[in-house]
Amino acid sequence: MKIALLGYGKMGKAIEKMALDQGHDIVLKVSREQSYDLSGVDVAIDFSVPEMATTHIKNCLEAQVAVVSGTTGWLDQFDEIVALCNAQNGAFLYASNFSIGVNLFFEITNKVAQIMDNSTYDASIKEIHHTQKLDAPSGTAMSIAKAIIDNSSYTNWELIDSSQKELKNKPHTIGITAERTASVPGTHELTYNSPIDTIRLTHQAHTREGFVQGALLAACWLEGKKGVFSMKDVLNIS
């Protein structure tokens, strides 16, 4: 498979190494805002920055190149990208996190949210990432919050200021805490707290390899398809 890397930071370099080890060809690497030719590309993988993601995705869809995106912080334009993909009869797959473990964590969250709804427990989320991560909260934390909202009486989420410990007097709102620490690939904790006990679910990434593996799996899966997809489609999760 001939792959374009749109974004050539830590994730781009890690994807390149694993892709070459698996016998794929890296035919294009874009590390900054520049013009580029997508001719001969089978699938593009976007791990760029929020302000460039939609440009990269649009370029791919208009060039009839399947595109996988893991860039977060641009989802206010997601509906526009979906409309363009459908209009171009293209192929687009977005995930806030490509780790197979995290995507299974999302499914566990769905079920737990249903079980815990209308209980005496209050839900909160904590995420910890490396200091180079630009957005807060992480796209993964927002996906966890969305899973809870979609499966319970919670209606929204709110980022907790670093000076606070928890949300006060805001029913049906999930508090999200974001921490930035050097050399942390990614940790996400979902906590249900009550006056008498605490239930905590945690996913902790040890390396970037899980994200890289999932992104390449998604790229291989997307090749030759048409439509808008997610990791649920890749993993055949109904």
Question: Which of 24, 56, 126, 129 is an active site residue?
Answer: 129
Q: How many CB atoms lie within 10 A of CB 118?
A: 7
Helix axes 139-150, 100-116, angle to 10 degrees: 30
Q: How far apart are CA 69 and CA 90, in angstroms?
A: 14
Whether residue 133 lies in the annotated active site: yes
User: Do residues 30 and 57 touch, judged by C-beta distance below 8 A?
Assistant: no
Question: Which of 58, 133, 146, 226 is an active site residue?
Answer: 133
Cis peptide before 137 (omega within 30 of 0): yes
Q: How far apart are CA 179 and CA 189, in angstroms?
A: 12
User: Half-sphere exposure of residue 173, counting CA atoms within 13 Å on the CB side?
Assistant: 13
Task: Say which residues have a Cβ less than 8 Å from residue 87's Cβ, sequence separation at least 6.
Answer: none
Whether residue 24 lies in the annotated active site: no
Catalytic residues: 129, 133
